[in-house]
Amino acid sequence: MLRWVRQQLGFDPPHQSDTRTIYIANRFPQHGHYVPQKFADNRIISSKYTVWNFVPKNLFEQFRRVANFYFLIIFLVQLMIDTPTSPITSGLPLFFVITVTAIKQGYEDWLRHKADNEVNGAPVYVVRSGGLVKTRSKNIRVGDIVRVAKDETFPVDLVLLSSDRVDGSCHVTTASLDGETNLKTHVAVPETAVLQSVANLDKLVAVIECQQPEADLYRFVGRITISQQTEEIVRPLGPESLLLRGARLKNTKEIFGVAVYTGMETKMALNYKSKSQKRSAVEKSMNSFLIIYLIILLFEAILSTILKYAWQAEEKWDEPWYNGKTEHERNSSKILRFISDFLAFLVLYNFIIPISLYVTVEMQKFLGSFFIGWDLDLYHEETNQRAQVNTSDLNEELGQVEYVFTDKTGTLTENEMQFRECSINGIKYQEVNGKLTPEGFSEDSPDGNRHSLMKEEELFLKAVCLCHTVQINADQTDGADGPWHANGIAAPLEYYASSPDEKALVEAASRVGVVFTGTSGDSMEIKSLGKPERYKLLHVLEFDPNRRRMSVIVESPSGEKLLFTKGAESSILPRSKSGEIDKTRIHVDEFALKGLRTLCVAYRRFTPEEYQEVGKRLHEARTALQQREERLADVFNFIERDLELLGATGVEDKLQEKVQETIEALRLAGIKVWVLTGDKHETAVSVSLSCGHFHRTMNILELVQHKSDSTCAEQLRQLAKRIKEDHVIQHGLVVDGTSLSLALREHEKLFMDVCKNCSAVLCCRMAPLQKAKVVRLLKTSPEKPITLAIGDGANDVSMIQEAHVGIGIMGKEGRQAVRNSDYAIARFKFLSKLLFVHGHFYYIRIATLVQYFFYKNVCFITPQFLYQFFCLFSQQTLYDSVYLTLYNICFTSLPVLIYSLFEQHVHPHVLQSKPVLYRDISKNAHLGFKPFLYWTILGFFHAFVFFYGSYLLMGEDTSLLGNGQILKPNRQMMFGNWTFGTLVFTVMVITVTMKMALETHFWTWINHFVTWGSIVFYFIFSLFYGGIIWPFLHTQDMYFVFVQLLSSGSAWFAIILIVVACLFLDVVKKVLYRHLQPTSTEKAQMEEDKGSVSSACDFAESRHRGEDNRQLLDPASPPGGASLH
């Protein structure tokens, strides 16, 4: 029962051990003292709440917000002490805000529950009691043997036991997990691979020991112990044995696997857990403003309380004849009375803190984010991909970016590789008409028959064909006779690869005569000049970013054991002992200068004794449960040495469209661009020059190949000196991964100074975590600039998550970057529109929204404060409680919301064609202290005009109302405090709505409807509210007040006069500033206005000429048809 309660409340008991032991088919040991480990069930829970915890959990989350908690306190104060306003005035808005947010979050969670139930209720087959049993996905337990058929998705994380193939292999696609569409091969251990029937599997006695669940999709460490008769066989389990939940079975009839991770402990579920929350600069500013307004509120409340007691120091005002004190009041403590009065004033003025601001901002962000997805300029037709918004909390941050960190491959380039050149045994070759031609040879040799390859060339191409993870299209290998058994030349094979480099190399090798024709069991088959050869695959030493190479150990048809290795030249050349090392190094540098991606290829022959030692070490490392990665790394280093260099390859990665123009536009906008890449120094520099990141005229400084702290520091000091001396020209900095590590260790400040004085920075040979470290370094520097990271691969995820704004490119390297990003776009060129148009609009909209909210609440509450000077600080409210409640909810909420969704102060084309306008809003310019002060002072000024304008025009002389009669016997005269308060409130609603209208540049019919509709609604509501006796209201102070007020012509005169007086100075200030000190944006607006006037004249002329045609086309259209942007 206790466990169930803990689960319902969202508490997950932690795992006690580092490893888990799984008994296949849940055959637990029979001895009595065995206690089974507790594992999660297979329910996927993506929802946040349950029926039991929704109310407490949701309320807790909402009241963590300062404004919500503050209003709760005010509401409780109103309930506890006698306050001037009803608890409803703060309780109702609070209830409205909490309810709206709870309904939105509850609905979203209900949709998640619905999706979860579909997944958890899906039918699956498990092996139980010697047969296949159909059950629901949620009922699978750890240890169950599950059957999955072709094209089905795996319901849990399974260790593969067997498949319909003899070798126990199967193919899966993990597109839904990491976006990689290539087929991946998984294999079962030989002892279980032969168990292909339910009856045989039911007899299996085996135990799996593996690590506890972790989020890394590509890491799995375990071992399986199989009991056969009297012996126990131990086999290692790695990622190649694990079938992940969410992946799909392909090209295999069926498989059986044992469930090792279930439900929320599957790798898919661990990967989809929410990321750390990023907060925008606007949100931080908003919280600062709230604190300032809280201080203003406390000041007003304390001042009012002190003035009340100062006033009451006089005998005649302490207890006036019309308001005698009760016995309890006379005897109560002065301190308690002071506190009570202070709290009462706090309640009276509490609306200066705008509670509905949070809800409006949330709605604006949520609804506004749809515009990015709907923007057809961000739609990529070739791939049919729209821009994607993963979080709407950072929309305005797109308008504040100061640094862009970009990956190179797949982000600036297409990630479409074309084989261009190679170096074999110290000779450079190019591919000409499907032949490898040494450099300098002409291509007019006869093509009649395929020339034979030299021994070195053939070995090099075989290495390329065998050392990879490429798959062949399933349709081409499904037949009983593979394509390599066909007579004549086989049809071109279609290759799939997770790495575009590998695919390009294997395709190039097939064109020049060495064709990879597929795998069969543990064999790799190739055709060398039409002659089939079969190599037994003994071991694969997987690629990893630290080694920067991958290897295979194969047995050749002659029985020789060979190691083929390929990788970055920095990881291959130092390990090579023979071959044309120096010549190849020169060729690699030449390839890199042309912007080609380079790989070196080497091999090693093993003697039988060496191979035996290698096999033993690999087995020990692979079966280790503790520190397996470290042990494997040591063994790989032991194996990959004493290599014989075969050559190098040069593959071209084409630049994406409009990359140069985009980088130039970012530079004009005042944004510094850093390129962070894992590529070679020369390749990276060459691409930087070709994409416009570095200019030919730029002075390129280098901080590369430093091995010690002292040399790195000395070089940094020299660079800083050169920058100081040549401050006129632009500088570009190139730094590599090793030098960067040294620079960040001891000389962080010096390194940052050098970087900040450079127009462009290129970091090459970067590990993924180094990329994130560089972003963090900039983020936390004293200026705290807003950073944006953009990339397309799994190696960019840490950088994307570290930056203020992370953007994923929907590229060819899977979807991990897109999944972990805040926004996703199909091409780098879309970044300019995303920042210069959407970012600009979002920032302007929300900056005005936030400041306008504070302004209208200052206008609202300041007359309440001023009124206390006229009512002896008796805490009498100026406005009726219904008006207090509805001011922010109904009367003034819609115009600002619609403004914040549709405002376009400059045409989008102008913003995109003039990136320099982006500088006008940089560094949070519209939410700085000056604009905040202007809006606050404006609010106080307008409030003074509302109050004293109404008082001077109407307060003294009741004859202005047209009558001075008493409304009813024994009731106050018509012009009392409610009439005065209603006049002030009416003027205020009109003025703040008109102020919003003045701020609006882009008018749509919706703007017109909500702006004028809000004013009309206020009048209609007030007439109904005051014109009818409502039976459910306790008192009705406003009865007939509004009708009487509007029946007076002088009241209308006062309203118009005060509204004009308020807004006149604002209009004058705008006009003067616009003509005397215009910003770049305002100049663009004026140019746009002139352009629209001239185009309107042209339009009128053409309309006159084409009147008859238009009438034929659309007889119902109005004469002056408007166009909608």
SS3 1116: coil
CA angle 410, 415, 417 (to 5 degrees): 160
Using DSSP bridges, classify how beta strands 222-228 and 157-163 pair: parallel, antiparallel or unpaired.
unpaired
| Alpha-carbon radius of gyration of the chain | 37
SS3 699: strand
Using DSSP bridges, classify how beta strands 672-676 and 403-406 pair: parallel, antiparallel or unpaired.
parallel
Nearest Cα residue to 18 out of 286, 247, 212: 212
Nearest Cα residue to 900 out of 378, 362, 389, 93: 362
What the block records as the tokens of 14 is: 């932690």
> How far apart are the C-alpha atoms of 1119 and 1103, rounded to whole Å?
9
Beta strands in 455-607 (DSSP E): 471-472, 495-496, 514-520, 523-528, 531-544, 549-555, 561-567, 576-578, 596-606
> How far apart are the C-alpha atoms of 479 and 576, rounded to whole Å?
42
Tell me if 552 sits within 8 A of 563, measured CB to CB: yes
Instruction: Give the C-alpha distances (Å, rounded to integers) separating 888 from 301, 883, 1046.
Output: 21, 9, 23
Tell me which residue has tokens 């941050």: 397
Q: How many C-beta atoms lie closer than 10 Å to residue 73's C-beta?
A: 14
DSSP sequence for 391-428? -STTGGGGGS--EEEE-STTTTEEEEEEEEEEEETTEE
Using DSSP bridges, classify how beta strands 242-243 and 157-163 pair: parallel, antiparallel or unpaired.
antiparallel
> How far apart are the C-alpha atoms of 235 and 241, rounded to whole Å?
11
Tell me if 171 sits within 8 A of 471, measured CB to CB: yes
> How far apart are the C-alpha atoms of 211 and 258, rounded to whole Å?
15
Q: Which residues of 273-296 are buried (b: 16+ CB within 10 A; e: fewer)?
A: eeeeebebbbbebbeebbeebeeb
> How far apart are the C-alpha atoms of 769 and 703, rounded to whole Å?
19
* 153 backbone dihedrals φ, ψ, rounded to 5°: -90, 150
- Catalytic (active site) residue 375: no
Q: How many C-beta atoms lie closer than 10 Å to residue 449's C-beta?
A: 6
Burial of 1112: CB neighbours in 10 Å, binned 0-12, 13-18, 19+: exposed
CA angle 1051, 1052, 1054 (to 5 degrees): 65
> How far apart are the C-alpha atoms of 599 and 103, rounded to whole Å?
56
What the block records as the tokens of 282 is: 């606007």
SS3 333: coil
Give Cα 315 distance to the centre of its chain.
Answer: 66
> How far apart are the C-alpha atoms of 1074 and 1062, rounded to whole Å?
19
Q: How many C-beta atoms lie closer than 10 Å to residue 462's C-beta?
A: 24
What amino acid is encoded at 946 in this protein?
Answer: F
Which of 144, 341, 393, 407 is catalytic? The answer is 407
DSSP letter for 385, please.
Answer: B
Burial of 1105: CB neighbours in 10 Å, binned 0-12, 13-18, 19+: exposed
SS3 653: strand
Tell me which residue has tokens 């699956």: 124
DSSP sequence for 138-185? GG--TT-EEEEETTPBPSSEEEEEEESSTT-EEEEE-HHHH---S-EE
Residues with a catalytic annotation lie at 407
